[in-house]
Amino acid sequence: MAALRTLAASKKTLSLALGGARPLAAAAAARGVATTVSLPDLPYDFGALEPAISGEIMQLHHQKHHATYVTNYNKALEQLDAAVSKGDASAVVQLQGAIKFNGGGERSPSPSLGPVLLLCTRFTVFPFFWADDDADWAKFRGHVNHSVFWKNLKPISEGGGEPPHGKLGWAIDEHFGSFEALVKKMNAEGAALQGSGWVWLALDKEAKMLSVETTPNQHRCLDMIRRLRISFQHRTLQWQTPDPLVTKGASMVPLLGIDVWEHAYYLQYKNVRPDYLNNIWKVINWKYAGEVYDNVLA
């Protein structure tokens, strides 16, 4: 039942942001089932981040890895809709792996983006949400993580790599001593992360404190403010209070995320992850991170 509640919660989180999004079917929309997502366009050319990140890596990362998350997520959603319609609890539980590893996204302002990242772009709080350390939860976050990651990057010619200014710049100096100290800490945390995962610059919006966090595989911050459960007798979703899976703090907001999966750097940097981490700062979009920071604390 815990797994079922978790899956239902992820579905409802998506449906909260649907708005006018394209539904799987009218019946699915009526039940609150999440809609399909599509691969977001990059806001720059594949080769625009060179030499920090090669065009070949960006094309493969976006067109193959991210696209696979989208394809598999949409397929799983269709199967999930059928399972919910039938009241098949066993099938719903079995489908959670595909949903969690591949899912997420953004829908607004671009209709090509899925519903969850809408919360990110509107600066909603995203607590670091952890479940069992398996591929299941990674499936829910794959699309979300990468959709955010593309926004965290910007060509040098357009201001990528320029240090943060304004309130975020001051906060970094206050909490880490200097911008250089933050970069050093994130590089160290990212290099030390065993296997695959992400390194994040996070904001605790209640304490107004910055911190560096790492998450394994595709785990990331996701706003699970409320939990839901499926009532198969009535084919409905019902509100529940959160279960104790949020261990990083319900007020944690991601400002910046760096992908340290091998597919993000191996073709160019081989097994030398520290070189990738050192160079990615040349194309980090600090303007975007600053906008998130300002809006969260507004």
Question: Taking the CB of residue 65, how many other CB atoms lie within 10 A of it?
Answer: 15
Q: What rounded mean pLDDT belongs to the chain?
A: 70
Q: Among 109, 94, 77, which Cα is nearest to 10's? A: 77
Highest mean predicted confidence (pLDDT) among 54-58, 95-99, 246-250, 251-255: 54-58
254 phi and psi angles, rounded to 5 deg: -80, 130
Between 249 and 160, residue with greater pLDDT: 160
User: Going from the N-terminus, what domains does the chain have, and what CATH number goes with each?
Assistant: 2-34+53-296 (3.55.40.20)
Tokens of 230: 């499926």
What does the pLDDT look like over 203-220, one tens digit per residue?
Answer: 888 899 999 988 875 544
Whether residue 32 has pLDDT greater than 80:
no
Token look-up 């607004």 returns 108
Token look-up 């953004």 returns 106
Range list of β-strands (E), the chain: 197-204, 209-216, 227-231, 236-240, 252-259
Cβ proximity of 194 and 260 under 8 Å: no
What is the pTM for the complete model shown? Answer: 0.67
